Amino acid sequence: GAGVSQSPRYKVAKRGQDVALRCDPISGHVSLFWYQQALGQGPEFLTYFQNEAQLDKSGLPSDRFFAERPEGSVSTLKIQRTQQEDSAVYLCASSSKTGISGNTIYFGEGSWLTVV
Amino acid sequence: DQQVKQNSPSLSVQEGRISILNCDYTNSMFDYFLWYKKYPAEGPTFLISISSIKDKNEDGRFTVFLNKSAKHLSLHIVPSQPGDSAVYFCAASRDPEYGNKLVFGAGTILRVKS
């Protein structure tokens, strides 16, 4: 596809359930980001991959959150034992370069997670 | 601790007039700033950016101004159009050559009335 694709678009999980969110970045993009956006807030950084290497995971809120990008393309964000506070939109983004300056970062439409 | 703040949750402007969206930051280490636009049910899209070595960057109807001493930036849209109605996020980054993390504000909802 032409853009960043995320699935599922909408997910309702029962508290305690594990969920997996998938991101298909733009083909050939080196950098991949995950952000979490709570209702009424701006996106908050979770983690960053350069190819298959996870270079920054400082934003992951707890050890229940795990992200991987084993072949340097598709990425999965896994949340174990979901809690109500995990309810948010999870945004994936990719870019063709590393760094931020002069580098257009393309966001997907997000995966809307509701934990009940 | 909100390092990037957008104090106006919403703004309403008449078509053809100027829209001014404001953003304040607290971290003096930030040296690269961006504005993103977001329509409902879509991801944010990049609008315009500015490096801390500049105080102004212009792209068509969009101009971003940076006041480093005040730790303040603003986005001007002239003239405003109904299609500009969206949520606007200010974002900041440090060390643009090597940093990978964007810190976002909470957003300002812009409504342009025709």
What are the tens digits of pLDDT across the range A32-87? 999 999 999 999 999 999 999 999 999 999 999 999 999 999 999 999 999 999 99
Write out chain A residues lying below 8 Å of B100, CB-based: 31, 33, 48, 50, 55-56, 98-100
CA distance B18 to chain A (A): 24
Class of residue B95 by CB neighbours under 10 A (exposed 0-12, middle 13-18, buried 19+): middle
Contact between A101 and B98 using a beta-carbon 8 Å cutoff: no
Q: What tokens were used for B93?
A: 């980054």
Cis link prior to B79 (omega < 30° from 0)? yes
Q: How far is B3 from chain A (nearest CA, A)?
A: 12
CA distance A97 to A99: 7
Tell me the C-alpha distance between B26 and B28, whole Å: 6
What pLDDT sits at residue B98?
A: 55
Rounded-to-10 torsion of CA A114, B4, B5, B10? -60
Q: Identify the DSSP state of A104.
A: P
Pairing label, strands A44-50, A5-7: unpaired
- pLDDT given for residue A98 in this prediction: 83
Residue with tokens 């990719």: A94
A99: pLDDT confidence band, cut at 50, 70 and 90?
A: confident
Please indicate whether, in this complex, the C-beta atoms of A91 and B46 are within 8 angstroms of each other.
Answer: no
User: Over its length of 114 residues, how does chain B's per-residue pLDDT go in tens digits?
Assistant: 689 999 999 999 999 999 999 999 999 989 899 999 999 989 999 999 999 999 999 999 999 999 999 999 999 999 999 999 999 999 999 865 556 789 999 999 999 999
Peptide bond into B40 cis (omega under 30): no
How far apart are alpha carbons A38 and A89 in whole angstroms? Answer: 6
